[in-house]
Structure 1
Amino acid sequence: MINGPAGRIEGRYVHGKQPNAPVALFLHPHPHHGGTMNNKVVYTLFHAFGRRGFSTLRFNFRGVGRSQGTYDRGEGELSDAASALDWLQTFNPNASSCWIAGHSFGAWIGMQLLMRRPEIDGFISVSPPANSFDFSFLAPCPSSGLIVHGNKDELVPENSVQKLVNKLSHQRDIRIDYRIVDGATHFFSNHVETLDKHVDTYLDNTLGSRMAAVAE
């Protein structure tokens, strides 16, 4: 349990085995649509970073699971994410780097946190809801990252995500690796393994092979 702005925040934390291990924070989909920290995509991301020796934290936004409080239209959820990141950094004061990853609503919150916390080195956004949430705050985007989307997403049209990718890719010194998963829906039903492979490839290319599989 973490102390948050609306009360206790429920989380799951795994400490990296290496000294000065990097840290990563994971954000789940919309609380009103069944989103929890046990979402399959969030769980997949959590373990992808964990396999590379990161200290990893996933948590429930306010009002979800055993987290206290009630849904707050994204404003309170951003505060929850900031509190979770504060806890993660306090527990890992000498972390070598910091990453954030989110799915759907969690991707939107994660990108907002990215704008507010310059210590975040990279991001992964899965199914970012670019058609229904405002991403115009990414001006400029402070970090490069990976965006993954399914071409059978029933909630977010692929062209809206492509527009977001184009906008970010034209910013100076920003590199967006955009991967489209054929046949995947918004929640990647039956395509989680493919998502995992894309994330693995991106992390290996970005972090370098020296970090791969240090935590078995």
Structure 2
Amino acid sequence: MNAQTETRTIPGPAGVLELAIDRPAVPRADGGVAVIAHPHPLYGGTLHNKVVQTLARAFVQQGWVSVRFHFRGVGASTGVHDHGVGEVDDLLAVVAACAPVDAPLALAGFSFGGYVAAAGAARLWPARPVQALVLVAPAASRFAMPALAAELLPRTLVVHGEVDDTVPLSAALDWARPLALPVTVIPGGEHFFHGRLPLLKDLVARHLRAL
């Protein structure tokens, strides 16, 4: 993301996982860590995706350490794509390696990564509470999005583009409706939020400040 981005690998469930870590100039006193998941690997998704980088910047500016990572089989991460099953295990391995148990944890993801982040939060709860969950255009039309604990819903931000033709807005609403989970819609926004990334960053920052 910038010259100060730290790259490293950690042991993962399918070999090694490649990380990109960005640290805030003024960190939170409680040492909060945000783990951010990228879009679908089979369609070019990487940790360098513009939306993923926008999420990282929003967290860093609010004092969180941001950890992006490559799913198995992407970049320097070893293994092969596992259709969303092993990828949740990848995220949990990053959490275990990078987020101290006594520090606040945030999870975030875009598209396929939004599904993985939501599934990871559901797996972790309640043993490891998630202070913030940010889901951008989560792939609700392609994967079975999990139910979220009632306590997590006020800490969850879902953002979707009005004219997303990759993951229709209706799919996100169909998932969110039974949970009474609000969905923030960006008018005219499409899947990759072209021209609307500053607005997306502001929405995420506002959510984090309100927690």
TM over 0.5: yes
2:133 aligned residue (123, 134, 144) = 123
Residue 109 of structure 1 corresponds to 116
1:9 aligned residue (6, 17, 30) = 17
Question: Which runs of 5 or more structure 2 residues have no equivalent in the other structure?
Answer: 1-8
Backbone CA RMSD of aligned residues = 1.6
What is the number of residues matched between the two proteins?
Answer: 196
Residue 30 of structure 2 corresponds to 20
Q: 2: distance between equivalents of 1:186 and 1:152? A: 8
State TM-score, norm by structure 2: 0.87
Q: 1: distance between equivalents of 2:148 and 2:13? A: 27
User: Share of identical aligned residues, percent?
Assistant: 33
Residue 179 of structure 1 corresponds to 184
Q: What secondary structure, in the 3-state scheme, does the structure 2 residue paired with 1:10 have? A: strand
- Given that 1:14 and 1:57 are in contact with CA atoms closer than 8 Å, whether structure 2 keeps it comes out as yes
Please state how far the C-alpha of 1:14 moved relative to its aligned partner. Answer: 2.7
- Given that 2:112 and 2:139 are in contact with CA atoms closer than 8 Å, whether structure 1 keeps it comes out as yes
- After superposition, the C-alpha distances for 1:165-195 in whole angstroms (9 at most, x for unaligned) are 21221xxxxxx34210111111112211111
Q: What secondary structure, in the 3-state scheme, does the structure 1 residue paired with 2:143 have? A: coil
Please state how far the C-alpha of 1:106 moved relative to its aligned partner. Answer: 0.4
2:97 aligned residue (73, 87, 112) = 87
Please state how far the C-alpha of 1:121 moved relative to its aligned partner. Answer: 2.1
1:151 aligned residue (130, 143, 162) = 162
State TM-score, norm by structure 1: 0.85
Q: 2: distance between equivalents of 1:113 and 1:76? A: 11
Q: 2: distance between equivalents of 1:102 and 1:109? A: 7
Question: Which runs of 5 or more structure 1 residues have no equivalent in the other structure?
Answer: 170-175, 207-216
* Superposition misfits of 4+ residues, deviation over 4 angstroms: 139-142
